[in-house]
Structures are given as structure tokens and as C-alpha cells.
């Protein structure tokens, strides 16, 4: 009876163990490619690394996001810079550092507005609304959430509009 429980536990955990090994292989592959890639490819690789690490190691995610930020500034791409600040903000949020989270989202919103990427602007407005709400600053939260709602309505995305309404 005891062995059956152990066997059952092993088979239930097997997908997680396999995923973990697969993820480590992917991370190692991305790190190796990062060393020899062209700058424009390095930006994409750092994005993938920071996103993958955000699920398991926030410090590593922040490390690669900072590298990605430097590369994004080098290629002078406002959309990339805004996305990096978004990842930095989400990583800091995961660590509970709301001041840095707010700072990153605000910087990201500035670059998103320069790029005129409406989806990114809406996303970062929502993120700012959520972080201000988390901090209890509802008077700062509401304008960002309303701006995000208006953009998602304009873009015709009912799912994200509903999500914003829930946040409001």
C-alpha cells in the first residue's frame, strides 16, 4: 500500500520534473546563443530568458531584463524599451518592491506612448492601475484603469475590457 502511494506520487510529479529539466535545457541553450548572437537577436534572447526566469528566479529575470534594456536602448526601439520596463516592473512586483514596480511601469508607459502602440499603452495603464490599487492609492489607480478600458474598447478587445472592468 505504501509503495503504491509513492509510485502514484512519482507519476504525478513526473511531468513537473520533466518540464523542469526541459526548461533548464532551454535556458542553457538560450544563454549559449546569447553569447554569439547579433545585437538584434540578443534582444529577443534576453526577452525569452527574462520571461522564462520570471517563473522560477526573479533575480535572474531581473538580470536578463537589465541586459535586455541596455540592448533595447542601443537599437533605439521604443516598443522594446517599453516591454523591458514591463518585465522589470512585473519582476519587481513579484519581489514585493512596489516602488520600483511603479517606476518601471511609468517609464514603460512613456516609451509606449512614444511608440504609439495602443495595446502596449493599454497594458501598461492597466499595470499602473493595478499597482496603485495594490498600494491603496485609488485616486491614482482609477485614471490609468479608465484609460486602459477606453483603449481596449476602441481596439474591440472584449476579453481585456472585461478584465479591466473587474480591476475597476
**SS3 call for 142:** helix
pLDDT by residue (tens digit) across 84-126? 898 889 888 888 889 999 999 999 999 999 999 999 999 999 9
How far is it, in rounded angstroms, from Cα 64 to Cα 146?
Answer: 32
Q: What is the mean pLDDT of residues 27-43?
A: 52
Q: Does residue 70 carry a pLDDT above 90?
A: no
Give the chain's end-to-end CA distance (angstroms, integer): 52
Which grid coordinates are listed for 63? 538580470
Residue 83 Cα to chain centre, angstroms: 8
| Banded pLDDT at 16 (limits 50, 70, 90) | very low
User: Quick check: 84 and 75 in contact, CB under 8 A?
Assistant: no
Amino acid at each position: 500500500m505504501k509503495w503504491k502511494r509513492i509510485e502514484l506520487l512519482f507519476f504525478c510529479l513526473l511531468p513537473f520534473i520533466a518540464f523542469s529539466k526541459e526548461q533548464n535545457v532551454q535556458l542553457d541553450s538560450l544563454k549559449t546563443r546569447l553569447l554569439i548572437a547579433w545585437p538584434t537577436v540578443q534582444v529577443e534572447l534576453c526577452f525569452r530568458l527574462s520571461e522564462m526566469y520570471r517563473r522560477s528566479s526573479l533575480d535572474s529575470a531581473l538580470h536578463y531584463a537589465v541586459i535586455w534594456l541596455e540592448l533595447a536602448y542601443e537599437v533605439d526601439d521604443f516598443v522594446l524599451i517599453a516591454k523591458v520596463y514591463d518585465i522589470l516592473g512585473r519582476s519587481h512586483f513579484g519581489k514585493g518592491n512596489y516602488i520600483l514596480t511603479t517606476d518601471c511601469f511609468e517609464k514603460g508607459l512613456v516609451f509606449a506612448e512614444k511608440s504609439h502602440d495602443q495595446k502596449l499603452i493599454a497594458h501598461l495603464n492597466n499595470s499602473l492601475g493595478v499597482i496603485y490599487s495594490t498600494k491603496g492609492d485609488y485616486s491614482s489607480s482609477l485614471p490609468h484603469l479608465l484609460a486602459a478600458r477606453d483603449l481596449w474598447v476602441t481596439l474591440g478587445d472584449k476579453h481585456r475590457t472585461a478584465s479591466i472592468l473587474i480591476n475597476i
